[in-house]
Structure 1
Amino acid sequence: MILDRIWGLYAHPKTEWHTIDNHHESFSYSLVHLALIALIPSVCAYFSTTLIGWNLGYSHIDNMMLTHESALVMAVGMYFTLIAGVFALAYLMFWMAKTFGAKPSFSHTVELASYTATPLFMTGFALFYPEPIFLMAVGLAGVAYSVYLLYSGIPIIMRIPEERGFIYASSVVTAGLVLLVCIMVGSVILWSVGLGPIYTH
């Protein structure tokens, strides 16, 4: 069922959003979907940084790799941060809903946020080819499609006119960017106090 939903969001997103709206899944189902899809970037990052290594464009430097312990800590941190980020976005959508005349349940906003984040999380597979330009291109494509899903899904799931849904989605995107900046700042602070990556060489 999860794979069917993912395929539908890629093949015929608006039709799939209508299907989701007509057959809302339970809160626990959304949690399972989120828990599974958040594994992709976390697990891929772990194996990429421990088995493949990263080269940030310095030809005279060998691929940089992390120790297994350091990579595991960072992968686990990434996993829970991604899940927390989706929940924060879902809460923001739930909190702003009344302003735009929508009355969703929190379960519906978690469902919307989870499916919207799916393309972005699936770009984690690109970490198996850790070339900066390639990762940037794939990442931008993932972000763009997630934003498209948000804009196309909000009017349907929230059951509001498209014009109002556009403003609603734009507000969510803005809040999401602020949330992303907060996560990045938090990461820098943690790195500065000694919780950063540990390289093998």
Structure 2
Amino acid sequence: MIHHVLGLFTHPDQEWLEIRGEKEQSISRMYLTHTLILAAIPPISAFVGMTQSGWVISDRAPVLLTLESAGWMALMSYIAMLAGVAVMGGFIHWMARTYDASPTLASCVAFSTYTATPLFIGGLAALYPHMWLGMMAGLAAVCYTVYLLYVGLPLFMNIPADEGFMFSSSVLAVGLVVLVAIMAFTVVLWGIGVGPQYTP
């Protein structure tokens, strides 16, 4: 599965067709060979960045988190990303019936995972958590993820381009709702005292 990552960045059109033509694998195998590995990049990078170099805002001194606090935050973000991929895969599977496509749930989870690949790779920027670097890397990752979504969905689902545009727009809207829900849940956790703890 990992060998598709380079292709999604170099020739996405061709790579989506290759992915569609592959023998379908189970959801568990997809998670084991791709999702669990790539989704670990942002939390591991953030853990290292938050505990070793610290957040850098303007010309102020770096802000470091304790190992325990950074570990919990990394674990929670990892679980949130894995759940997000599953939720998006489930929505794509449910929505596909509207566009006369009949993919399996496993293939929809695979599509969701491959589409999120730039977000996972962009998490490497958290190794050095500078505000401007994070914003630029995050923006680039989001833009390329949206591009993969709009290019890949019609090819992967084998539907006309105009229907693919509407389908992709629906998926994007749900993705934003999921993101806002995760952020709201984070705020609630911080409100009950499960927030970050900084080093002295």
TM-score, normalization: structure 1?
A: 0.95
Aligned counterpart, 1:18 = 17
**Residues 167-199 of structure 1: CA distance to partner in whole angstroms, max 9, x if unpaired?**
000000011101111110110000010000000
- Structure 1 stretch displaced more, 21-30 or 72-81: 21-30
Q: Which amino acid aligns with 2:44?
A: V
State yes or no: 1:80 paired with 2:79: yes
Shift of 1:98: 0.6
Aligned counterpart, 1:166 = 165
Aligned counterpart, 1:53 = 54
Shift of 1:50: 0.5
Alignment of 1:148-163 (within 5 A): 148-163=147-162
Aligned counterpart, 1:6 = 5
Instruction: Give the Cα–Cα distance (whole angstroms) in 1 for the partners of residues 129 and 185 of structure 2.
Output: 24
Does the CA-based 8 Å contact 1:24-1:108 persist in structure 2?
Answer: no
Aligned counterpart, 1:117 = 116
Q: Which amino acid aligns with 1:74?
A: M
Q: Which amino acid aligns with 2:56?
A: N
State yes or no: 1:39 paired with 2:40: yes
Instruction: Give the Cα–Cα distance (whole angstroms) in 2 for the partners of residues 191 and 81 of structure 1.
Output: 15
Aligned counterpart, 1:29 = 29
3-state SS in 1 of match to 2:61: coil
Shift of 1:101: 1.4
- Structure 1: gaps spanning 5 or more residues: none
Instruction: Give the Cα–Cα distance (whole angstroms) in 1 for the partners of residues 49 and 86 of structure 2.
Output: 27
Does the CA-based 8 Å contact 1:108-1:157 persist in structure 2?
Answer: no
Instruction: Tell me the C-alpha RMSD between the 2 structures.
Output: 1.1
Percent identity for Structure 1 against Structure 2:
42
Instruction: Give the Cα–Cα distance (whole angstroms) in 2 for the partners of residues 24 and 78 of structure 1.
Output: 31
Alignment of 1:187-198 (within 5 A): 187-198=186-197
Q: Which amino acid aligns with 1:107?
A: A
Shift of 1:8: 0.6
Q: Which amino acid aligns with 1:194?
A: G
Return structure 1 stretches of 4+ with deviation > 4 angstroms. Answer: none
3-state SS in 1 of match to 2:6: helix
3-state SS in 2 of match to 1:134: helix
Equivalenced residue count is 198
Does the CA-based 8 Å contact 2:146-2:172 persist in structure 1?
Answer: yes
**Residues 150-180 of structure 1: CA distance to partner in whole angstroms, max 9, x if unpaired?**
1111111111111101100000001110111
Q: Which amino acid aligns with 2:72?
A: V
